[in-house]
Homo-oligomer: A and B are copies of this chain.
């Protein structure tokens, strides 16, 4: 026999399930899924605006089309006749340092910038200018800035807007402020490199005080619905074992429509 071990996540009693102390039946209908995610990962319930921000973070990353490796891995496995759980798992397994990892890496880089500014007695803009100069001279790069497709990622602006509504204004939100300073420093070189959606999520999660070890987890949670949609589409629309071109694909879903039309 092995010893009894302990978990602080969920208490299971007959007729009672309590996550981090809260009866799950009380949470249902009263908090959004984003708020429940925050609860289970941090141990505390967020206020309502922060809960809404968490939902927005999850919504922002729910899918990015057929090109990301998580989608291609999931579709490739799905095309062999795999089950849904197996196909989705293959997608999840693609979320690593080079795919999704910018969320954590950007937060760490911004954290280092904040420490440097403090220990060097610099303003954020001075520290960011020094960092960007270093990046330019060494040919290195900083995670979370720039994007293969988007020059001005629409998701980023919206995230910062919602972060501000949730009280993460630049004077309080140090990582967001650092990200803005880096953007200004890049712009001053004549080659602007705006923060991307991964970078914005990393800055915001860091300012919310969340453990960096689970940052990639937010991306996994967000992306599972997209993976399910792609796996289902692959298995209903395509023939098994086809060769899946990672570039030559096109969108043929609904035309652009606005929220007002539908509600």
Contacts and interface: CB of A to CB of B under 8 A. Distances in A.
A40 interface: yes
A67 B155 contact: no
Contacts of A55: 29, 31-33
A199 interface: no
A191 interface: no
Interface string A41-78: 10111011000110110111011111101101100110
A192 interface: no
Interface stretch (A9-17, A112-120, A126-134, A178-186): A9-17
Contacts of A20: 253-254
A231 to B, nearest CB: 8
The binding surface of chain A is classed by DSSP as mixed
B63 A255 contact: no
Contacts of A244: 2, 5, 72, 246
A208 interface: no
Interface stretch (A135-143, A168-176, A222-230): A222-230
A217 to B, nearest CB: 4
B85 A92 contact: yes
Q: Taking the full assembly, how many copies of this chain does it contain?
A: 4
A89 interface: yes
Contact of A7 (B8, B65, B228): B65
A23 to B, nearest CB: 7
A214 B243 contact: no
Given A2-B245, A2-B247, A10-B226, A18 B256 contact: yes
Interface in A90-130: 90, 92-99, 101
A7 B233 contact: yes
Question: Interface centre among A12, A25, A63, A93, by most B CB within 10 Å?
Answer: A93
A94 B65 contact: no
Contact of A59 (B28, B47, B48, B226): B28
A21 interface: yes
Question: Interface centre among A55, A213, A258, by most B CB within 10 Å?
Answer: A55
Contacts of A4: 245, 248-250
Interface of A: 1-34, 36-37, 40-41, 43-45, 47-48, 52-53, 55-56, 58-60, 62-67, 69-70, 72-73, 76-77, 79-86, 88-90, 92-99, 101, 149-155, 157-159, 161-162, 165, 211, 213-214, 216-217, 220-222, 224-226, 228-230, 232-233, 236-238, 240-259, 262-263
